[in-house]
Amino acid sequence: MSLSHDLFARARVHMPGGVNSPVRAFAAVGGEPVFFERAEGAHMWSVDGKRFIDYIGSWGPMICGHAHPKIVEAVQHAAANSLSFGTPSPGEVTMAEMLCEMIPSLDQVRMVNSGTEAAMSAMRVARAATGRERFIKFEGCYHGHADSFLVKAGSGAQTLGVPTSPGVPKALAELTLNARFNDLDSVEALFKQYPDEIACVAVEPIAGNMNCILPESGFLEGLRELCDRYGSALLFDEVMTGFRVHPKGAQGLYGITPDLTCFGKVIGAGMPVGAFGGKAEYMKLVAPSGPVYQAGTLSGNPVAMAAGIANLELLGQPNFYEHLGQITASLADGLQAKADAAGIPMTTVAVGGMFGFFFSDAERVTNFDEAAACDLERFKKFFTGMLAEGIYLAPSAFEAGFVSSAHSPADVIETLAAAEKVLSEIAG
Ligand SMILES: *Cc1c(COP(=O)(O)O)cnc(C)c1O
């Protein structure tokens, strides 16, 4: 059989499910995952030598394409000077300066090693700053796998959170309140129920973990207003959207100033990195300048900083976002046209270098329930068909897609030709 198959068989012996992160296992789409060993620009090569056009970009970091020479060079240079010092080093300072300059809502940042850590730590700061313990999140938004975030609403958004995963203490889950994305009334109802108890509202300003869902007009503004009215912090989780949808993140795109923001993915260029930051009044609470404990042996790692800095520098190239936005829109519009031609109901979304497509006859999809109501069976067939054609899409209907500056019009044409073929096969 194939090398991928052999590797997966071996992987399952000593790794739970054969993977180090669940969505990689293809459980939502069936079949076996493809193992990759090399990638360049918009293309990845499997261990069996098959070439794919990549639309996951390592789930976001690869906004400049794989193995960009400038990033590889920065990493090699940093690595030659030691992989880690465990002391302050210059790259951390440059990274902090760049982030605070690029994102106006940031006075200070703390580097961490993943988006999960960023969200978990930012939440701790919000709780400390407000002296409150409950917080609101939205069903279908993902903020990493820290205990507090692995909580779903019970029956209706007004009930106390129940753990989504065994191992999450009930006592902790009860502090997590779930609202509906794009539904301000569901948020206000929770504030009215717990007017003095909500530390923060945590939100993906563009939801990218239930496919790709844009905020409806007024939604983010409304969250800002409710947080101000009730003395809560507004926490934007821009681990996915940060530098992906706009040079100033989703907050720049929509003109909203959050109190705290989380980053990851793009700022590490593929190295394990996250960051959280915000207004000085919050960040001054973080140890050692304040009492909120937060630490990391490898935080601000010099190799990771070098990769991230090189990635952020590349974003400053002339017309970077115009080009990225155009190529992404041409893909989404093209998919829509192919689906229309095949008589398959589809709704597409594109924003910056991020896109989504739903097998749905709704005009647009605005929340988790609507995303879950899409034709998941058809998605599965589409995914499998596209994979066979050498197009690597996210192996789940609940993930966004990612385009890089290395994707060319020829890549889009090849992708759309494959889509036309696969859509006609799965029509009816
Ligand atoms: C990916 C992601 C995370 C988690 O980041 P990890 O680096 O996987 O821990 C958190 N929030 C959002 C919005 C994400 O997309």
pLDDT tops 50 at residue 106? yes
Q: In the predicted model, what is the mean pLDDT of the chain?
A: 96
Torsion angles phi and psi, residue 387, rounded to 5: -60, -45
The verdict on domain 69-315 having CATH code 3.40.640.10 is: yes
pLDDT tops 60 at residue 308? yes
Q: Are 149 and 183 in contact, with CB atoms under 8 Å apart?
A: no
Torsion from C-alpha of 388, 393, 394, 395, nearest 10 degrees: -20
Beta bridge partners of 356: 349
Q: How big is the chain, counted in residues?
A: 428
Q: Is 115 in the pocket of ligand 1 (CB under 6 A)?
A: yes
Of ligand 1's listed atoms, the one at least distance from the Cα of 274 is: 7
Sign of CA dihedral 63, 64, 68, 73: negative
Provide the total of helices (H) and of strands (E) in the chain, helices listed first: 14, 16
The C-alpha R_g of the chain, in whole angstroms, comes to 21
Q: What is the pLDDT of residue 164?
A: 86
Q: Are 242 and 263 in contact, with CB atoms under 8 Å apart?
A: yes
**Catalytic-residue membership of 411:** no
pLDDT tops 80 at residue 155? no
How many whole angstroms from 179 Cα to the centroid of ligand 1? 19
Q: What is the pLDDT of residue 24?
A: 93
Q: Is 205 in the pocket of ligand 1 (CB under 6 A)?
A: no
Q: Are 261 and 106 in contact, with CB atoms under 8 Å apart?
A: yes
User: Which residue type sits at 374?
Assistant: C
Of 263, 308, 411, nearest in space to 70 by CA:
308
Q: What is the mean pLDDT of residues 383-393?
A: 98
> What percentage of the chain carries pLDDT values higher than 90?
96
**Catalytic-residue membership of 237:** yes
Domain ranges of the chain: 3-67+319-427, 69-315
pLDDT tops 90 at residue 168? yes
Q: What is the pLDDT of residue 157?
A: 45
> What percentage of the chain carries pLDDT values higher than 70?
98
Of ligand 1's listed atoms, the one at least distance from the Cα of 116 is: 9
Query: Over the range 3-36, which residues count as b (16 or more CB within 10 Å of their CB) and which as e?
Result: ebeebbeebeeeeeebbeeebbbbebbeebbbbb
Q: Pairing relation of β-strands 36-40 and 391-392?
A: unpaired
**Catalytic-residue membership of 142:** yes
pLDDT band at 163 (very low <50, low <70, confident <90, very high): confident
Q: What is the mean pLDDT of residues 224-243?
A: 98
> What class does CATH assign to 3-67+319-427?
alpha beta
Largest CA distance in the chain: 62
Mutation test residue for ligand 1: of 59, 240, 244, 298, the one with most atoms within 8 Å of CB: 240
Q: Is 126 in the pocket of ligand 1 (CB under 6 A)?
A: no
Q: Is 239 in the pocket of ligand 1 (CB under 6 A)?
A: yes
Mutation test residue for ligand 1: of 148, 238, 239, 261, the one with most atoms within 8 Å of CB: 239
- pLDDT tens for each residue of 176-202: 999 999 999 999 999 999 999 999 999
